[in-house]
Structure 1
Amino acid sequence: MAERIAVVSGAARGIGAAIARRLASDGMKVGVLDLDEAACADTVSAITAAGGQALALAADVSKEDSVNAAVERLATELGEPTVVVNNAGVLRDNLLFKMSVDDWDTVLGVHLRGAFLLTRATQKYMVEQKWGRIVNMSSTSAQGNRGQVNYSAAKAGMQGFTKTLAFELGKYGVTANAIAPGFIVTDMTAATAARVGVDFDDFQKAAAAQIPVQRVGRPEDIANTASFLVSEGAGFVSGQVIYVAGGPQD
């Protein structure tokens, strides 16, 4: 994998940062993409300190020109990307009757439009090299979650997006899969706890009690799954949605 170039969106912190670090430890060069280039510094530093290569990239994934410019810079400075992890995401939680059009558009724009734009900008390199790996971040919320009609719709859409990519790009040696995390300790789950007015430690304990493995997830749990899906050994796995949630999902 030393010749592979990856780009991970939303990689300044949380799950994205963990995935970027793991792919670098697997031997890939990694484009660390987030809205603010300076915010990517910690992830890039962790990768380079461990002997890897990384490049901080600033892009608003919902903006076509911004995404295209970031991918072009990555291809020029680090190499042509053939591994893409669409992880960028935001929350704008609210009940339907309270949700604004901006809240709906922002969440769908970052998750779905962002995944579309970044994948479209990079797929040409995969097709040219007859090899590629696409990993899209879905969620158990794709099955529905109170107060998240926008987020649930976006995450369900990621699953359909993934399966269609698998059909379209498979003949070029490109696989596309989705990871659907359950409860993972991140800034996002902390924000959810704050929204419902629950102490975050208590929130985690309550979640763990409902999970068969009796613990909450960590960003590294998702990174480990992403590592497999982008590996050479996963070349016959495509169009799948893998729930990484500590137990079965309906």
Structure 2
Amino acid sequence: MAEQYSNPTRRRFLSGIGASTAVALSGCSGGPSSSSDDGNSESQAADAVQFLNNDIETVGGVTQSQLTIENTAEEALDFTVSVNLLIGTDGIYGDLTDSAEVSIPAEEQADTSLDLYDGDNLSRLAIHEIQNGYFSLAYAVDGTEVSFQEFGEKPRQYVSFKIRYDGEWSGALGTEGGQRSISGVGDSHLPVDNSASIVSGNAQKRDTGSSALTVQILVDGDVVAEQSTTAEYGVAQVSESI
């Protein structure tokens, strides 16, 4: 899955998702609605358009939803189509949206694209969640949701380890299942095995900076353990039963 960030010209987002999304979208809209006296164009568009195809592609590093939309009404429609990508439960690791203005003559089709995410701009944790299928996609027409899909079975909890520092650091992160070395420059947010019952981690400054280095253990986005140090080459460490 990691190779999807190597800028292929056309690739499925996750195995099977492109096809399943197209089926869900094409079946989510009702038939064309007649014009009403109050001119409610929003509800008319949501009822009248159908999504015939949804190819998920990576173009220039940006993963996009390439949509083919049909206007089944007997008149032209102008509307806004949008997508919301939530990474992790309720979007705790990312909430991304994009929209496009679409005009389709009566009983014709049009193609449009919506950006889902730029892999280069996501945190390691967000990429980890997407690659493991913990995300949802919601499509809307003029603000009316016409399709919602959630991928990946929700774990009992989301556990992560966060290092906050503006310089270079190194340390270790572990659970009862083992420990691994970690290192980096600047803030970092790392995934932890969601089945862990004990989490411990530490980080040490690799310089003489006086700014604070902080380590945190988070469960479902909430900090449950935290420690900081401002000492030169200082070490901060935490451990918590989950």
TM-score by length of 2: 0.24
Higher strand proportion: 2
TM-score by length of 1: 0.23
Q: Which has the higher contact order (CA 8 A, sep 6+)?
A: 1
